[in-house]
Amino acid sequence: MSNISITTDRPEIDPSVYTMEDGTVVNTKDRICKSAEPPAFRKPTDKELWSAERPELPNLEFLREHFRREGRLTEEQALRILNATNDLLKKEPNLLRMPAPITICGDVHGQYYDLLKLFEVGGDPFDTRYLFLGDYVDRGYFSIECVLLLWAHKLWYPNSIFLLRGNHECRHLTEYFTFKLECKTKYSEEVYDAVMTCFDSLPLAAVVNNQFLCVHGGISPELKTLKDIEDIDRFRETPTSGLMCDLLWADPFEEFDNDTGPKFENNHVRGCSYFYSYRAVCNFLEKNNLLSVIRAHEAQANGYRMYRKSKATGFPALMTIFSAPNYIDVYNNKAAVLRYDKSVLNIRQFNASPHPYWLPNFMNVFNWSLPFVGEKITTMLLALLNICSQEELAATFEEKEMETPVVIVPNSADMSQEQRRQVIKNKVLAIGKISRTFSVLRENSELVMELKSLSETGKLPTGTLGLGSEGIRRAITTFEEAKRSDIENERLPPASRESMDAIHQEHTVSKLRDAVGEQDECISRMAEVIASVPDRPSRSPTPKSLGK
């Protein structure tokens, strides 16, 4: 009889080698997609950051590239840039005066990669005069990079880079939106406080070429002459009323071109300041011998808007410029800068640039994904329990009892049949409660809540989340839809972010209580069927003895 040898050894597999679908063999220890540039994890040394030519100033080219790769500075380096720039800003007057040629820019809102594009379109800061009309931070997730790069340019070119204050350059809004959290995530609260000190020092308005009043928001019923701006005490938190507030918060009427109606009216959209009319602007321009008002503050589909021409000059009495393309990644708007040179106004538009993705409120992946993963797992558990109908389960159990006698081992230490039934039932019901709990957590996560606000029904279109980021962006189809859905975020916040978070948390906890206490009839019936399996005394045969 011959011996048969069976070998069960398998060839050793090298986990570091992987063959892709196209046949390419790669090493799993290497970066497979080398076209995606890795972030700059290492903070720069002082030798790398500070210019060899002027050691007290940052190397602009290095800083621009370092931030493009998501790099960060040391806290000391960031504070040095901020404090040095503040020394410059606080020496400037409330009302700046500058000649043409000049490039005038609107809101940037933390869109660092679009700021780099802006410098390409507007001209090299080395030989181009710039005036920024405020709103450098919030809404976008690269606000501190925008601030540090602009402040660094101000240090290099103090007489050709000019920065005005916007309504978001204050503690109230930066605490409510994202900037304070961003500073604490990337640096520290000390850096945030230093930035706020700089914001308090920013000038409030500028006159370009003795023709244009440039300001973030607009005019005020308290603004009669330019001297009124010069007399403001600007070194403070932005107030919620008065001339300083209006310069940063006011808006033109939507029906700006009408000759009828009041000159000013309370701004119910913003929750503070005023709407101003064509007549109000024309009266102000005529009294101060100016040609036009140039402002920012409002997103525009084309990046700019020219309003009605003045009867006295034949030139637009008001212009809005907005320099954040595809604002908050949903508006699908173009951005623009205004180039004024040799009595010619030239609008230069540009589109959004790709940028790295951050989860809402700088959340980590684990915290963000937990409600989604948990809900899917419990859904799977319920699906497994619900493979058969209740009738099929009952029929199956009856067949099993007919084929196999039930063996019961008497033991006083064991639970009673009723107790065992109740334990099984409770476990099934617990799965249902967990499922509802994770469902509440998912529904109350920030992105989903924002998306629901886009729908008149307050519900997400079926399958929107499964489509990923591109599908989410397609859920908002027009600029007007995005603007309408975001209107609440354009208001003066009624409370701090901490207060709003507490309200949101209490709302979520309340919904969780309701979800846990909710009775699910379907799961309850399923639990009854499953729990009743061991206990059928009327049909069970006499137990067989298993011996001693």
Catalytic residues: 168
- Strand duo 264-266 + 274-276: pairing: antiparallel
Determine the distance from the C-alpha atom of residue 546 to the mean position of all C-alpha atoms in its chain, rounded to a whole number.
68
CA gap 177, 378 in Å, rounded:
34
Question: Which residues face 19 on adjacent strands?
Answer: 25
Reduced 3-state DSSP string for 352-412: CCCCCCCCHHHCCHHHHHHHHHHHHHHHHHHHHHCCCCHHHHHHHHHHHHHHCCCCCCCCC
Q: Check: CB of residue 183 under 8 Å from CB of residue 144.
A: yes
Q: Dig out the tokens for 421 from the structure.
A: 């039934």
Per the document, the length of the chain is 548
How far does the chain reach from its first CA to its final CA, in angstroms?
A: 47
CA gap 280, 278 in Å, rounded:
5
SS3 394: helix
Sheet hosting strand 292-295, strand order edge to edge: 95-98, 205-208, 212-215, 292-295, 318-321, 304-306
Question: Which residues face 18 on adjacent strands?
Answer: 26
Residue whose tokens read 């008002």: 293
